[in-house]
Amino acid sequence: MKYVDEFRNAEIARAVAAEIAALTDPHRHYKIMEVCGGHTHTIYRHGIKDLLPDQIELVHGPGCPVCVLPMGRVDEGIEIAERPEVIFTCFGDMMRVPGSKGNLLEVKAQGADIRMVYSPLDALRIARDNPDREVVFYAIGFETTAPSTALTLQRAKKEGIENISVFCNHVTIVPPVRALLDSPDLRLDAFIGPGHVSTVIGCRPYEFMPKDYGKPCVVAGFEPLDLLQSILMLMRQLDEGRCEVENQYGRVVLWEGNLQALKSMAEVFELRPYFEWRGLGFIAQSALKISPAYAAFDAELRYSTPGVRVADPKACQCGEVLKGVLKPHECRVFGTACTPDHPLGALMVSSEGACAAYYNFGRKSFQKVGARE
Amino acid sequence: MSEKDLMLPGACTLNHDGCVVCSDAGIPVWVVSVEGDDALCEDAAGDRAQIAIELVSPVRTGEVLLTHGGVAIGRVRRGERRVFSEVCRRVQER
């Protein structure tokens, strides 16, 4: 893609890497977490890790909504999809996420009307075209995706379309990061903040990181030089003893976020008291549900989903990988029982999942941990 | 607007955006025409799509928007490259 050369310039990348190396204390180990799955993908796709000194360890965070979804929520979606009156719609990556008894693709092969959509607005169009059927949209995603679901329901209400509902699994980014910071398992030095989530929520929500935990955060873009520059900005903060939130991705992210999108979300959603995250357990106020004003569009109410809990397969160590305690290749089934073709855990399903990124781009740069096989 | 401006947020296009579920697929597009709550938009590869624009309205023809799942969630600020330009300049001065 020739137009993005500016953000992939090898000479500049080497120079930035040299600056990072110059700021690195050889006697210190730095742990920097990239919260977002998109960043993990860029790091492995472009070999960013290989440009950094050994003292800097990049830890992959919980920023892939497919990966953090507990299996019970997948099972409940499948149960709704199996209803004969329902046209079940979801994003492509959701189709292959394993539930306890299979995935949506298998249920579709058995005859359920499951359709892959690119946008929740596609689900609304399907509802408009099929007034005698019930259309359900499986909503998933952080604050980047939630506005599109909110906008869809606002349009449905405005147009008087009643045969659409949303099975809401939207999550929010700040509570799991706070949970990670509270976790005794992990000692982190700094954070690379998610770029496009911040387009919506802005930079202010991250101020608790320096204020309450003394950890710097830089909101970053998704090109290789964006990430390298963000790491440089974090290393400068650590070197100078500064601790603040900085915005590297100013060409898209405003400090205050997108107020129109936040208003739309506030109208359609409210915070759940708690929500289960794969590997992280229950986290208070970490997810969104449909607000009372839009209750008629809430699939959980319409289909009375029971809220089941299902344990992950015993061999699967997605939880530890999500918390950054294990690297993907240290999981006992990585690359053997669990591959992108036959994923056991969600981290291998999503193209942005840490395990899939390792499998596709990083396999040659590490040695398999034989003792775990 | 140049093609370079269009690619400011990154390399995603309507046909290749990584993973929409991931929430960090953001596609830069420029506005060809505005039609009520939607706009006809074009990406760097020349593909076009209808994009919902309520969340960033008012929108003008020629603007560059960041879209996610068929909805515009932000706008690209061409002038705001200060941080990145600073790195490039220092490297070139070396």
Calculate how close chain B gets to A373, using CA atoms only, in Å. 30
Rounded to the nearest integer, the mean pLDDT of chain A is 88
Between A72 and A366, the more confident residue is A72
> A140 and A173 in contact (C-beta within 8 Å)?
no
Interface pTM (ipTM) of the complex?
Answer: 0.83
Please tell me if residue A4 touches chain B, with a CB cutoff of 8 Å.
Answer: yes
CATH number assigned to the domain covering A71-172+257-302: 3.40.50.11740
List pLDDT tens digits, range B76-85: 887 655 555 5
Task: For residue A141, give the 3-state DSSP assignment.
Answer: strand
List pLDDT tens digits, range A131-164: 999 999 999 999 999 999 999 999 999 999 999 9
A34, A144, A170, A203: which to substitute to probe chain B, counting the most B Cβ within 10 Å? Answer: A144
> Given this model, what pLDDT does residue A8 score?
75
CB within 8 Å of chain B, chain A residues 56-115: 63-66, 91-94
Contact A351 B18 (CB under 8 A): yes
CATH 3.40.50.11740 residue ranges in chain A? 71-172+257-302
List pLDDT tens digits, range A1-25: 344 566 777 888 888 999 999 999 9
> Given this model, what pLDDT does residue A367 score?
46
Please tell me if residue B44 touches chain A, with a CB cutoff of 8 Å.
Answer: yes
Sign, CA torsion B60/B61/B62/B65: positive
Torsion angle (degrees, nearest 10) of CA A222, A223, A225, A231: 20
Burial B4-33 (b: 16+ CB within 10 A, else e): eebbbbbbbbbeebbbbbbbbbbbbbbbee
List pLDDT tens digits, range A62-91: 777 877 888 899 999 999 999 999 999 999
How does residue A245 score in pLDDT terms, banded at 50, 70 and 90? very high
Does residue A301 carry a pLDDT above 80?
yes
* Distance of alpha carbon A104 from alpha carbon A108, whole angstroms: 6
Chain B residues lying within 8 Å of A250, measured CB to CB: 77, 80-83
Give, in words, the CATH class of A2-62+174-239: alpha beta
CATH 3.40.50.11750 residue ranges in chain A? 2-62+174-239
Phi, psi angle pair for A362, to nearest 5°: -110, 0
How does residue A369 score in pLDDT terms, banded at 50, 70 and 90? very low
How does residue B46 score in pLDDT terms, banded at 50, 70 and 90? confident
**Which CA distances in Å does A276 have to A37, A308, A310?**
19, 11, 11
Sign, CA torsion B6/B10/B11/B15: negative
Domains plus CATH for chain B? 3-93 (2.30.30.140)
> Given this model, what pLDDT does residue A1 score?
39
